[in-house]
Amino acid sequence: MTNIPPPHETLIEDPDHIIALSDGTRLSARLWRPENSGKMPVPLILEFLPYRKRDGTTARDCLTHPYFAKHGYACLRVDMRGNGDSEGIMEDEYTAQELSDAVEVINWAAAQDWCTGSVGMMGISWGGFNALQVAARAPAPLKAIITLCSTVDRFADDIHYKGGCLLNENLGWGATMWSYSSRPPDPALRTEWREMWLERLEAEPFLPSTWLRHQRRDAYWQHGSVCEEYAAIKAKVLAFGGWGDAYKNAVPQLVEALDGAKGIVGPWVHKYPHFAVPEPRIGFLQEALRWWDQWLKGEDTGVVEDPDYRAYLMDGLRPAAWYDVRPGRWIAEREGATSHLPVQTLHLNDDGTLGDVPQTIARTVSSPAHCGAASGEYCAIWLGPEMPGDQRGDDALSTVFDSAPLGADMDIVGAPRIMLSLSSDSAQGQIAVRLNHIHPDGASSRITYGVLNLSHRKSHAAPRAMQPGKTEDITLDLDHIAYRVPKGHRIRVAISTAYWPLVWPAPVAATVTLGSGTITLPQRPTTGGDEVNFAQPETATPWETEELRAPKHIRRQETDMVTGIQTLIIEDDFGKLRDLDHGLISGSVARERWEIHPDDPLSARGTCHWTSEMERGEIRLRTEAHCAMWSDIESFHLSARIEAWEDGELIYARDVDDRVPRDQL
């Protein structure tokens, strides 16, 4: 904790700062800036999101933006068009319109009399994505960005597809946006709030329908994927990630692709590192301030000399659906990330072991459709029991290969790669590969994993069905990780033909025959203590609220003993609270059900239901957002319904029904 007081104790805060775009749309922003910035201009930090600054991201905004403002920055937290208290309609994520709006906001801010003309952009998840995408447009005032939990490739590493497989998060997060973007503005800020609300409800797209119409890596996904042209990014990039998050790969990719980029990956789930879990947390705001001061103020803060890549090497722990703390140590690579590290190659043996000598094998993989029950959430974010649990149940439904007990600690740092020679008895199929840590008593902790739609084995842009019975070679990179397997423990490669409910099943239950296989494990010489250190977390003053309903998180698995249907039930009640500053009451509950019969991949069904509440004085507003997905041999089927309630009366309802043909999926 620093003893040096920030130089700007007195701030001006505008909770509804209006920015008029060139097309007449008015965006609402929350603006913090030093009181004397009108006479002594400061650089600007922009965060540009759809997640509602008034009642959505308020908790993290309060912890973060006033801190920067007190250290000599203006901070602008903007509701994107069609969301929160901003006008307009949002048609999709990361549209050309969204990015153009952000560039216009940057140029507007740089021209204000309280701004020096230097701008930084930051954000986590959506805000991390569009920070990279806006940087690729290279607006002149944008000098630096900080991107957290983001991706460089929208097809390969977002919530839609992974390895060409359809992620069930495609429906789950689509349901989230179906709810978020259909909520009304705060009636205290907009006299026309009701008209804005009805306009949103009528125009609100059901995004899973859009995303399902792009089952290949086409121009839709190339747009916004900065890996298409890294050189377009001129701003200096600091990237953060977390081993408990879905977005593990972007940080090392950015470090190795962009000159001057720096990366930090901790043990965290999808949260900012100054309040993330599992601990240890770090002084994210201090690290960010060093970055901003260097590139927005021209001060030498030493960031240029920082190691390119700093990562938290986690000690291998017994499997659990949640961790409060991950023991380990911080490691650092002076140049690059992990591609230069040595690898150890192990071969899949016919007796189910991993060995040093390559050999021909004849092992089949044919998993029931419910294999994957211990996968955890694709993107751990809501702070419930979302982490991968004990893998023994899934391992029993997979084909596995175990190493001998390790003669020394093994530090796996990077992206393991598996190469298989295989054939399938079906034209369509998928495999999931898990690298697991096997404890002496048999408990199985997932280290990292990857999935592959076999039709995408050569190309995501031009998939091609398997020829049944024909042997082909495939290569699959697992997600990046930094993990220590202790001496005397084993590692396991587990291969399955299903990974439910993380990915949607192939249309038929295929049997895959393995002819040979190897896994290369990037390894770093074992280290002792921390190689780098971070300051302890600091924050601004927390959001002041009154809790009206406590949050509650449920994950429950059920088996119907009559039908055989296996169901995962998720209920996330985010609670209900009153903002003690302006009095708005808000609350929400999200529910998901994922069900499947072990013998029938076409029995798969997902349903989601969000309830969102808002109260302002005597006004009581509520939205109910429902959706469902199922499939047959040829098509995906979608249904959705949005309802709006005012003071207990249904004032709007709309139903969506859609069918999308399967395309090599």
> Tokens at residue 1, please?
């904790």
Residue 80 lies in a domain: yes
Q: Residue 371: inside a domain, yes or no? A: yes
CA atoms 109, 112, 117, 123: torsion sign: negative
Last residue within a domain, chosen from 489, 522, 555: 522
Segment 540-568 mean pLDDT: 96
**What predicted TM-score, i.e. pTM, was given to this entire model?**
0.96
Please list the residues that pair with 630 across neighbouring strands: 605, 637
Q: What is the arithmetic mean of pLDDT over 366-380?
A: 95
Same domain, 259 and 375: no
Burial class (CB in 10 A: 0-12, 13-18, 19+), 556: exposed
In a domain, 104, yes or no: yes
What is the model's pLDDT at position 384? 78
DSSP letter, residue 446: E
Same domain, 509 and 633: no
Write the CA distances from 473 to 188, 258, 360, 424, integer angstroms.
Answer: 61, 32, 13, 12
Pair 514, 558 in one domain: no
Both 429 and 518 in one domain: the answer is yes
Does a structural domain hold residue 182?
no
Structural domain of 608: 545-661
Q: How confident is the model at residue 564 (pLDDT cuts 50, 70, 90)?
A: very high
Look at the chain and report how many structural domains it folds into: 3
Q: Last residue of some domain: 282, 307, 333?
A: 333
- Judge if 364 and 327 occupy the same domain: no
**Residue 535 pLDDT more than 70?**
yes
Asked whether residue 303 is domain-assigned, the answer is yes
Residue 429 CA: distances (Å) to CA of 94, 193, 498, 632: 31, 49, 9, 15
Residues 434 and 376 in one domain: yes
Sorted by sequence, the CB contacts under 8 Å of residue 570 that are 6+ apart come out as 384, 554, 555, 590, 591, 592, 593, 594
Over residues 375-396, the mean pLDDT reads 92
Confidence of residue 6 (pLDDT cuts 50, 70, 90): low
Percent of the chain exceeding pLDDT 70 equals 99
Asked if 378 and 481 sit in the same domain, the reply is: yes
CA–CA dist 184, 264 (Å, integer): 37
Biggest CA pair distance of the chain: 76
Cβ neighbours of 305 (radius 10 Å) = 8
Based on the domain organization, do 294 and 318 belong to the same domain?
A: yes
pLDDT at 2 over 50: no
Which CATH number goes with the domain that contains 495?
A: 2.60.120.260
Same domain, 258 and 302: yes
Structure-token pair, residue 431: 């495999």
> What does the pLDDT look like over 239-279, one tens digit per residue?
999 999 999 999 999 999 999 999 999 999 999 999 999 99
Mind listing the pLDDT tens digit for each residue in 648-657?
Answer: 999 999 999 9
Residues 345, 358: contact at Cβ < 8 Å? no
Residue 2 included in any domain = no
The CATH number of the domain holding residue 270 is 3.40.50.1820
Report the mean per-residue pLDDT for the chain. Answer: 96
For residue 7, name the pLDDT band (cuts at 50, 70, 90): low
In a domain, 219, yes or no: no
- Rounded CA gap, 229 and 217, in Å? 16
165-191 pLDDT tens trace: 999 999 999 999 999 999 999 999 999
Is 289 contained in some domain? Answer: yes
